[in-house]
Structure 1
């Protein structure tokens, strides 16, 4: 068997056998297939895609290329909630304590941010002293004690994905739906969970810009989940504007905490309630999302999720007092109110531009080596569909130095479009799809 023959077969759009895919990936991981041949194969996949059987083998080889994490000794129903990423996405901070309140354990690997804002790891690390588990045993212990199991990605988990992604990044093959789907699902399958919830973002601030592409990605990931007989739900959610109002690590932690107090932004609260309701449905505790949302809202009102979050923070080495005293979190030295130049209705907020406005202040990373400033960011006062008058507050910028302040202001203002016509507010949930539920 030769790599060149496999490349040619995929180039000519013939279906590969499991043996051919296994040979190619094994040899690449061993260093016997050079990058230039794998690049050619990835480009062939980019143009011709993969059939369901091919994708199963491809994902399975990725999944088994490193360590698998199983949670022996954890007596909880485990859910892995994954988001494809977006601006202001602090969902896990609010969702995981709600799951824990229903005796659902969160079992997931979380990443650091690269680009617009920080990742889930960065957001939690804005809490002084907070550290994540570094080993499987520490993770299991954390899940058992708090119900919340989060840890950073390890080079030992799906190392083939890391090697392939680095190659895709420099060969213009990143935006391939089968390659994206297998990358995500191989990591989800390598860390065992009883159910997988995929929050697939759609819009200007997401990787998938159109509903069609996002739907294709969701369906492909569901197909992979079905191939492994796993319970998977894909929730397609709007990212044509930032999620919630806060963008920036500490600011997002505060907004998530306020949501657990029942004071969160309307669309963010609705998203969290819906994802939590989906989790209850996957577990079998409720039959409908409406029933689930009611249970979730009652649980939030009881105050238990807030207590679960405090327990998690304490166990991780942080000060749980931050839940009631936000001055214990990193605080920006300065803030600037940005006012509207027009009267009308907010018709558009370019989410990616808002993310960049926060990033230039230090809220995100342009390169992996950049150090995040946890305190800085933006809080939006107006969202799509809101009425605004000239001179009224558009957003507040929180910053520590004015080095890139003018750039941040410019990006923020350019992100907003204001129309004379009344604009209908957007739904945050666009569609829900599932397999084996």
Structure 2
């Protein structure tokens, strides 16, 4: 009766005029990566203040920075507010530490195993399932974000090729499939977002031990194939859940050295105080605020694709300034100070060569000495070339623009822009046309 009443209330909310302007109601089924970090003191708080979390999970980021766009429900901030496996937090957030896909399937279908880790959790399974049944009726979209704990538990075997041959296959075909089916039974038409699983081999906690390059590469390939199986499985459903590509984040952690946002470099090695430039919390396994914002972005992009909504992903500058309290212009400030011009504005031109400082940064030319970094000419049959600085391009976009009258400027089309292997960029004018070209440099959003 309680579940039916929740569904009726949700239907009434959905047709009311007020609901159209209300935040999107999101229900999450997950683990500690989804639970509010305010209650994850073992890793989310600095060692010096172990009860004062200074990192945030994606549900918290949505509540704090996107309160009018999306909501995981009213916040119960007092520890012990719930009688189920949750401690406190948002009413529609079922991010429960320690939960695997296997445990969640057992919880939903009342089939707990004798797994030693599950023994601690299973006593709260019934109450948690009841609470989820009560709350799922109000959801406008359901997010399923699971699997990292499953991979963590089996990573030793995956790394050493001693895993059960069916392990990864069954995670999708049995456990994820059953969780999805349970949601579908209660809410046949609710939009569902299924997240791919981050490759836990990218975490310092795992990579510090499992660091043989060939085996690392082999394990990474297995997990990539597993995530592709998740994508293929989803495409075969009707209605199909939409995929949020969280594996893209760990791909970046593997491949981008250093990891940076707009030129601000982040540290992969955990720190006991959880500084804002850490990718991971101090346990070396759970990602910190910056990476949680990137997770939130993938989820918001998936929701927008599924529902046609306009949830606003976090720009890099917003992450740096508003979420982390950093100065997003610090890479420029460090560069201009190193050039002997501390505090010189981005649009200043102290050497009077016609190149504002931010353009000099992107080009790698000295802001205090006259420069002529362009070669060639923007004339029929010829090209104009320059070689930007890769470090400067982390911070600023460099866009070639053309004009026939020095008044109206438009970007040079990609078809007339070429980039060589050494990074040199060349542009050519339209056939038989005379004109002008300029470079516009602006800080990245």
TM interval, short-chain normalised: 0.3 to 0.5
Larger Rg: 2
Q: TM-score, normalised to structure 2's length? A: 0.32
Give the number of the structure with larger relative contact order, counting CA–CA contacts within 8 Å between residues 6 or more apart: 1
